[in-house]
Amino acid sequence: MIFLDNIREIINEGLSSFPNVSILIPAFNESKLIQKKLENVAELNYPAEKIEVIVIDDGSKDGTANIAENTFRKVHLNGRILKNQQRVGVNASLNRAIKTASNDLICITDADVTLEKDSLRNVISVLEKMKDVGGITGNIVPSFGDNKRVIGLEGDYRNFSNRSMLVESCRHSAFPGSTVLTVFRRSKLANMMPIEYGSTDGNLSISLIKGGFRFIYVPFADVYEPIPDDLQQHRLQKTRRAKRLIQVITHNIDVLFNKKYGEFGSIIFPLKFAMLVCCPLMISVGLLSLIVFVLFSNNLFLFASAIFSLGFVVFLIKYSKRVSNLLLGFVLHQFYCLAGLFLSFRKGTYWKKIERKSGDVQKSLQK
């Protein structure tokens, strides 16, 4: 793959000089994690004197800001706190930080993820060399607990997602990316993020693309993200992400089949629209119609065929973990998207925090 070879060559060449970068870390009640996160930033293979760190404390009540301030001094980072007196949400917090950052080159990373030591250096190398690229997202590596069902579901999803973003990047731009690691130039944004709807990663990538630049995925920039071990928390996280991404899509419908945005407008965005909006609706209506038709049909053969098909599916799920994960993952993804579609009509500046086992999060931060 030519695209991948070019990325690899750029990273191998490295940087002749290191540009200044502002690293933004949104945080809400992250007292248990913020010290480890800042220590992780301090250990990056990037000159410390070129890094400005901004922790945006979104109305935390657990001393997150104080711990961050002490850690700045401890690990010798050039850092400061932007403190919101009350919670305003991640988009509003990041808009404030983006505007006040000292540098045009911005990196956004979540408080509960771990950056591989060369990840920042690698993505900035690519951004410096590829002048038509305005932003880059990294490679998510899930960090799991002990729930084997979650491991199977999330592992397959991440593999599919990363491969999709790679193909999208070859054609034009990845969408939506991920704020576990997103690096971009402030001057390339077409507009700031809306604060009442939409995911941060989706809004940023669309803004860069509307500004006339590409937004690409770099697989050589690993970021370890802890996954909720509880299926209920996993469902809440997936539904919330689907909701906010669908909001980005529906509020940027002008991109759909718009030749102005090249293959992103003509191929990538329409496919995302179909996958996240059309398919869940069509599959739900189709399955419901089929069930009603079979139940109320007097055709014995049709009824027997339906029972046989259902039994065969149950057999595959029981005796084939691979098929089970793929099938269950597909069905759940449609459910998450359908739930997200209905919830997308609700505006909201922030959401309930997803609970993870502290041991799983610490395991991720210690990688």
Classify the phi-psi angles of 297: left when phi > 0, otherwise alpha if psi is within -120 to 50, otherwise beta: beta
* CB burial readout 85-117, b (16+ within 10 A) else e: eebbbbbbbbbbbbeebebebbbbbbbbbbbbe
The residue with tokens 């945005």 is 261
Q: How far apart are CA 74 and CA 69, in angstroms?
A: 9
Give me 258's structure tokens: 């718009």
Reduced to 3 states, what is the DSSP secondary structure of residue 232?
Answer: helix
pLDDT at res. 314: 64
The full set of domains in the chain, from first to last, is: 2-228 (3.90.550.10)
d(CA 54, CA 23): 6
pLDDT at position 122: 97
Give CA separation, 84 vs 18, 40, 88, 92, 348, in Å: 31, 24, 7, 10, 17
Asked if 94 and 121 touch (Cβ cutoff 8 Å), the reply is no
pLDDT value at residue 317: 58
Please say whether the beta carbons of 39 and 150 come within 8 A.
no
Grouped pLDDT means (10 residues each) for the chain, 367 residues: 90 94 96 96 96 96 95 96 92 96 97 96 97 95 67 72 92 90 96 92 96 96 84 78 92 96 96 91 80 72 69 62 62 81 75 56 52
Residues 6+ apart with CB under 8 A from 363: 143, 226
CA distance 362 to 14: 31
pLDDT at 358: 46
Integer Cα distance of 11 and 217 in angstroms? 14
pLDDT at 255: 97
pLDDT of residue 206: 96
Q: At what angle do helices 2-13 and 148-171 cross, to 10 degrees?
A: 90
> Which two three-digit tokens encode residue 286?
């189709």
